[in-house]
Structure 1
Amino acid sequence: MRRVRSTALHLTSIAVGAAIVVPIVFGVLGGFKDNGQLFNSPFGLPDPWILGNYTDVLGSEMFWRQMGNSFGVALATTALVVIVAAMAAFVFARYSFPGREGVFTLFAVGLMFPFAVAILPLFVLLRSMGLLDNPLGVILPQAAFGLPVTIIILRSFFRSIPAEVEESAVLDGCSPFGFFWRILLPMARPAIATVSVLAIVGSWNNFLLPLIVFNDSEWWTLPLGVRQFQTQYSTDTARVLAYVTLAMVPSLAFYAIAERHLISGLTSGLGKG
């Protein structure tokens, strides 16, 4: 039974890995082909290899503007959600006060609130605040919807820090904010890295919110750029594949770099969550 279970687990892992890797490889190789090669040999190697699809995209000013917009929105969203969630998680983890668990549960309920349900009232609210065609119209809602999972992860990690560490800091004359800033945050780097990865990738892949906020193409992010490029070159599938591949490279690279921190941050403090 153990061997059967192990074999089934390996086969499932291979199937899941193939389902993820095969489309990526197909897109990367497809960008080096022309439409004729894609039609005649969709899963074969390019023959000849055509670099023009990638160089045309990389030479596009619009592509780099959209990438810059995506980076700016993602970094601002991450900074805001991590700073606010870290302070809230510190209070929920290290202080006892009436209604603490109720307020924390209210944040946790936010995980069950679909973003798409709020899109219409959110659009009306942003319009009334004058935040359409404004990066803040994307940054602030993304940060708000990212708070629940970020607070839950950071609170779990903060609660795993022994109380003796805080007592020693207080005896050395450290204020509560000093303990939070100088001791707790440096110790929480794996958890902070985890929530930062989740926030950056979530912002990078967000399509619906930028779609309703940005009417001016100067503010478009890469997901909107992919849609526009696909519409513009709907008959040139190879060029569209090249654009999509280049658009997903930053998020894949960031995941690859932060993978170790992501895993360790998700598993840290689970015993006291």
Structure 2
Amino acid sequence: MRRAGTPIGYVAAIAVLGITVVPLLFVVLGGFRTTAQINASPAGLPGPWVWDNYASLLGSSAFWTFLGNSALIAVIATLLTVALGSMAAYALSRYDFKGREGFYTLFTLGLLFPLGVATLPLYLWLRQLGMLESFWGVAIPEAAFSLPVTIVILRPFMRAIPGEIEDAAVLDGTSRLGFFWRILLPLSVPALTTVAVLAFVTSWNFYLLPLLVFNDPANFTLPLGVATFQSQYSQDTARVLAFTALSMIPALAFFVLAERRIVGGLTGAVKG
């Protein structure tokens, strides 16, 4: 059975690789072609290679403005998610109080709550608070929508840390807050890295929330910038593909660099 399963596994891996990587290669390589070349041969390779598409975009201030806005919002949302998620997970994993499992179930149900359902009330709430055209108006809701998966990952990880460590820290005069800050957080670095990467990538790819909050193009994030660029240069397919490829690179690079830590954090959460 083991030998028979190996070829099937390789075929499945190749199929998944083809489904995920081939479209990315088409986008990246399409940016090195002209629109005429793409129309003549959509699946062809660049020949000759055209560098002007990427060069013009990297030399434009609009692309860097979109990139900076996305980075700022993603960093704020990630910090809020990790800070609030770690504190909530600590309380739900190390404290015994009435209704604890109910609160955890509520956060778990948040995984099933789609953003589209909250669009109208969220917009009205942000307008009431005067947070439209504000980076905080995007970062705070993004952090809120990332909290359920953060707590679901962190709680079992923190719960698996032996209670003897906390007891020893208390005997040494450490407060519960000191234990959380000095001992629990350092021991939870793999899980914290996992949720930080997930929150960052999720924020980076958010489209609906920035569309809801921003009307000024100067505040647009990269997903909004891609949509705006596509509408402005709908006839220039090659430049649109180049812009799309450039917008994917930061999140992909960040995800690839932190891949091992993500797997380690998820493994620890499952074991917990």
Q: Do these two structures clear the TM 0.5 threshold for a shared fold by scoring above it?
A: yes
Contact 1:92/1:155 (CA < 8 Å) preserved in 2? yes
In structure 2, the partner of 1:61 is: 61
What is the CA deviation profile of residues 3-26 of structure 1, one whole-angstrom value per residue up to 9, with x for unaligned ones?
A: 332222221111011111101111
Q: CA deviation at 1:206?
A: 0.2
In structure 2, the partner of 1:116 is: 116
1:80 pairs with 2:83: no
Residues in 2 aligned to 1:49 and 1:149: alpha-carbon distance in whole angstroms: 43
Residues in 2 aligned to 1:267 and 1:203: alpha-carbon distance in whole angstroms: 23
Contact 1:159/1:269 (CA < 8 Å) preserved in 2? no
Residues in 2 aligned to 1:174 and 1:103: alpha-carbon distance in whole angstroms: 27
Residues in 2 aligned to 1:206 and 1:81: alpha-carbon distance in whole angstroms: 15
How many residues are aligned here?
272
Q: Tell me the TM-score normalized by structure 2.
A: 0.98
Q: CA deviation at 1:42?
A: 2.5
In structure 1, the partner of 2:90 is: 90
In structure 1, the partner of 2:251 is: 251
Residues in 2 aligned to 1:198 and 1:150: alpha-carbon distance in whole angstroms: 9
Q: How does 1:1-273 map to 2 (within 5 A)?
A: 1-272=1-272
The range that moved more, 1-10 or 74-83, is 1-10
Detail structure 1 runs of 4+ shifted over 4 Å in the superposition: none
Q: CA deviation at 1:248?
A: 0.4
Q: CA deviation at 1:123?
A: 0.8
Letter matched to residue 214 of structure 1: F
Residues in 1 aligned to 2:256 and 2:26: alpha-carbon distance in whole angstroms: 20
SS at match of 1:151: helix
Q: CA deviation at 1:164?
A: 1.1
What is the CA deviation profile of residues 155-198 of structure 1, one whole-angstrom value per residue up to 9, with x for unaligned ones?
A: 11101111111111112111111110011111111100000011
Residues in 1 aligned to 2:270 and 2:228: alpha-carbon distance in whole angstroms: 43
Q: CA deviation at 1:58?
A: 0.4
SS at match of 1:269: helix
Q: CA deviation at 1:44?
A: 2.6
What is the CA deviation profile of residues 98-151 of structure 1, one whole-angstrom value per residue up to 9, with x for unaligned ones?
A: 111111111111111111111111111111111111111111111111111101
Structure 2 unaligned regions, length at least 5:
none
Q: CA deviation at 1:43?
A: 2.5
What is the CA deviation profile of residues 190-223 of structure 1, one whole-angstrom value per residue up to 9, with x for unaligned ones?
A: 1000000110000000000100100111110000
Residues in 2 aligned to 1:66 and 1:269: alpha-carbon distance in whole angstroms: 35
Residues in 2 aligned to 1:212 and 1:115: alpha-carbon distance in whole angstroms: 11
Residues in 2 aligned to 1:232 and 1:240: alpha-carbon distance in whole angstroms: 9
Q: CA deviation at 1:45?
A: 2.2
Structure 1 unaligned regions, length at least 5:
none
What is the CA deviation profile of residues 236-257 of structure 1, one whole-angstrom value per residue up to 9, with x for unaligned ones?
A: 0000000000000000000111
What is the CA deviation profile of residues 36-59 of structure 1, one whole-angstrom value per residue up to 9, with x for unaligned ones?
A: 211223223211111000011101
Residues in 2 aligned to 1:45 and 1:269: alpha-carbon distance in whole angstroms: 43
CA-based RMSD: 1.0
Contact 1:77/1:143 (CA < 8 Å) preserved in 2? yes
Q: Tell me the TM-score normalized by structure 1.
A: 0.97
Residues in 1 aligned to 2:4 and 2:257: alpha-carbon distance in whole angstroms: 34
Residues in 2 aligned to 1:2 and 1:181: alpha-carbon distance in whole angstroms: 46
- Share of identical aligned residues, percent? 54
